[in-house]
Amino acid sequence: MNELLSFLSDFTIRNVVLGAALLGITSGVLGSFAVLRQQSLLGDALSHAALPGVALGFLVAGERNLIAILLGALISGALAASYALILTRRSRLKNDAALGSVLSVFFALGIVLLTFIQNQNNAGQAGLDSFLFGQAATIVPSDIVTMLVISALCLGLTALLWKQFKVLSFDSGFAASLGFPTLVLEFTLTLMIALAIVMGLQLVGVVLMAALLIAPVVAARQWTKRLEHMVVLAAIFGAISGITGSLISATGRGLSTGLLIVICASILVFISLLFAPERGLLWEALNFQRNRRDLRSQQVLVDLYKLANEHNNPNYQTELGTLKTYYGFNTRQVLNELISQGYVQPSQHMQGEGQHWTLTKEGYEQARNVLADLGKRD
C-alpha dihedral (212, 217, 222, 224), degrees to nearest 10: 150
Exposure class string for 23-46: b at 16+ Cβ within 10 A, else e: bbbbbbbbbbbbbbbebbbbbbbb
Q: What kind and span of H or E run contains 319?
A: strand 318-319
357 conformational bin, left if phi > 0, alpha if psi -120 to 50, beta if neither: beta
pTM: 0.79
Last residue of a domain, one of 213, 248, 277: 277
Last residue of a domain, one of 277, 309, 334: 277
Q: What is the pLDDT of residue 158?
A: 92
Q: What is the pLDDT of residue 237?
A: 94
CA within 13 Å, CB half, 292: 8
Q: What is the pLDDT of residue 253?
A: 66
Other CB atoms within 10 A of residue 8 CB: 13
Pure H helices in the chain: 2-8, 11-36, 40-61, 66-90, 95-118, 130-133, 141-160, 162-170, 172-177, 182-199, 209-221, 227-250, 257-275, 281-310, 320-327, 331-340, 361-377
Q: What is the pLDDT of residue 378?
A: 39
The answer to whether the beta carbons of residues 158 and 166 sit under 8 Å apart is no
Alpha carbon of 155 to those of 26, 232, 321: distances in Å? 7, 11, 68
Query: Same domain, yes or no, for 337 and 270?
Result: no
The answer to whether the beta carbons of residues 303 and 295 sit under 8 Å apart is no
- Residue 39, in any domain of the structure: yes
Q: How many domains does the chain have?
A: 2
Query: Same domain, yes or no, for 248 and 307?
Result: no
Distance CA 289, CA 332 (A): 17
Last residue of a domain, one of 277, 296, 322: 277
Domain span at residue 155? 7-277
Identify the segments of the chain with pLDDT beneath 50.
Answer: 376-378
Distance CA 282, CA 190 (A): 36
The answer to whether the beta carbons of residues 257 and 270 sit under 8 Å apart is no
- Residue 289, in any domain of the structure: yes
For residue range 133-165, list pLDDT tens digits in order. 777 777 778 878 888 888 999 999 999 999 999
